[in-house]
Structures are given as C-alpha cells and as structure tokens.
Amino acid sequence: MNYTTSQLDLLLLFYDNPLAYGRIGLLTFQERFPTEKKCREYLVKVRYPKGFSCPRCGSPAVGEVQTRHLWQCKGCRGQLSLTAGTLFHKSRTPLREWFWALFLVARDKRGHSALQLSKELGIPYVRTWLMLHRIRTAMANRDARYRLSGIVEMDEAYFGAPDPGRRGRSTRRVKAIVALGLREAGRPGFVKIQTVKRLDARAVKAFAEVAISPGSTIRTDGLKVYNSLSKHGFQHEATVAPGKTKDDVLHWTHTIISNAKAFIAGTFHGLPEKHIQRYLDEFCYRFNRRQREAELFDRLLLACVTAPAVTRDELTT
Ligand SMILES: [Zn+2]
C-alpha cells in the first residue's frame, strides 16, 4: 500500500501512543531500542503505518533473511530491502547508531556537532560527521515539500567569518536569501533560507519560485534585486516607510537571521563555507518545528525514511 507523505504524517500522529521522545530520558530510550532488531521493527512501523505488504504481490507475509535489513516475501519469494528508498540505504552504520544520533539531535535545541556525537556514542568522528550531514539532507528534503504562502517577508543575510573592509553585498561571506511566512497577527510561521552565489534579481526569482506559492505577498526592504518579484506572479510590497527603519518592517526576519547566526556560531565553529547551506537547513527545520519538540525524534525518523540516500561524495564535494 502506498501513502502520500501527508497521509504518513497524519498516520504517525495517530500511531500507537505519541511516544514523545523529546521528554524521555536516555535510560528509557536505551530500554526501547536495545538491539538492531528493535530498531528495525520500529522502522517498519514508521515506514508502513498500516502494516507491511509486498510491493510485488501484495502479500503481507514476510520472513527476515539473516543478512541485515533484508526480507523475503512468503508469497512471491522476492527479496526486498527494508532500507531501500530511505536515507539509511547502503549505510554500513548500524540502525542503533542512527537511532541514537536522531534521538540526541532531536533533544538538543542548539544542534549537535559531529565531535560531540562522536564522543557520546564512542564512534569515529568521520562517521558522525557523515551521519549528521545526511540527517541534514533529510531535514532539507522534508522542508522542500512545503511552500510559504500568504504574507512573506524576504531579506538578505550574510553568514561566516567577518570580512573586514567589505560591507553589504560586496562581502565575500556566504550570501543568503531568507523568507519568512507570517501567521495571523504578524507572528512568525515557517522560514526558508537559501545560500546564493550572487545576490541578484535572478537568484531572488529562482528562490521565490521554489520557496513561495504564486500569488503570495512578499514584503522586502525595497532593495533593487526584489523589484522584479511583481513580474513573476507575486505581489511585492517594498515596505520602507518614511520615518521607519528597516528593523521596524522586517522585525521577525531580522530576529531569525540573528538566531541562525548564533546557532551556527554556537555549535559549529569555523564552518567550511560549502557546508553552510546544510547547517541553515537544520536551523530552518528546527525553527519550523519549534512547537513540536517532543515529536522531533519520530518526525526526524520519518524524514530519514522518506529521504533518498546521499553518497559520501555528494556530501564532501
Ligand atoms: Zn511478494
């Protein structure tokens, strides 16, 4: 049986009791997932909330093959991989380590560095580095399913080490475009951040078309690069009003940019620029689920189950 992702989300909410892993301690977590088998069983529940059936013959009866993560259908005898089509596919890292990484990442608001995770789990740094970056790609994959709509603030931001002598858009720091959807009463909703090589009208258009639903109203500070948004199916409000500073009009966006900078500087010192996008993806993922912290482990696991595998080369080059 196939489910769309939003159905999966819904089913997960009603599946068993909400486990609220954000609120359980390390001992309880260890008791729930002491073995690969326990992790595998839980993975199956998350992946097939209404029960498993063979994609070829529809039979619900399967037997485990001794080889890791392989099943054999008792109807058609076909073999299938439990992790195919998920982030864990072909990963030699045991599921238990993945589960622990997801649990620790989910319960730590400030983010988790590879060094920290390596020490906590007693596994090599290279492995935790790759795991965390893979988890970040799953986070990005998840957020890419949703677009902002309604009233959206948009602004530019610069990340990375300070670049003395160069200010504004001539800086060599990593440039990014930030979009924040506003809820009723102007409260912040969801956020998206995209790094760009050049901060120009073309980059703004490309970002807006992917991140924001057509017809939405985009509020900016009126910088020239945003002016063509109205030609591409958006309502553009350049809101620099006389007597008001930029901060008055894009207040929440500026707050979020400061938070994103603090998130990166606090946990991940001296980031190589080519990886900044993934840390920003993590920041956005967490921000967008800030009211659902207790569910974060299950949500992250679902994100990994529905995300394509990423090779080491894709992460490092
Ligand atoms: Zn079958």
The model's pLDDT over 88-123, given as tens digits with 9 standing for 90+, comes to 988 889 999 999 999 999 988 888 899 999 999 999
Distance (Å) from CA 4 to ligand 1 centroid = 21
136-171 tens-digit pLDDT = 999 999 999 999 999 999 999 998 776 667 666 666
Distance (Å) from CA 2 to ligand 1 centroid = 15
Report the C-alpha gap between 279 and 20 in whole angstroms. 25
Q: Are 223 and 246 in contact (CB under 8 A)?
A: no
Q: Are 134 and 310 in contact (CB under 8 A)?
A: yes
**Which portions of the chain are predicted below pLDDT 50?**
1-18
Distance (Å) from CA 99 to ligand 1 centroid = 28
Q: What is the pLDDT of residue 103?
A: 94
Q: What is the pLDDT of residue 271?
A: 65
Distance (Å) from CA 72 to ligand 1 centroid = 8
Distance (Å) from CA 75 to ligand 1 centroid = 5
CA nearest to 81, candidates 94, 70, 92, 68: 70
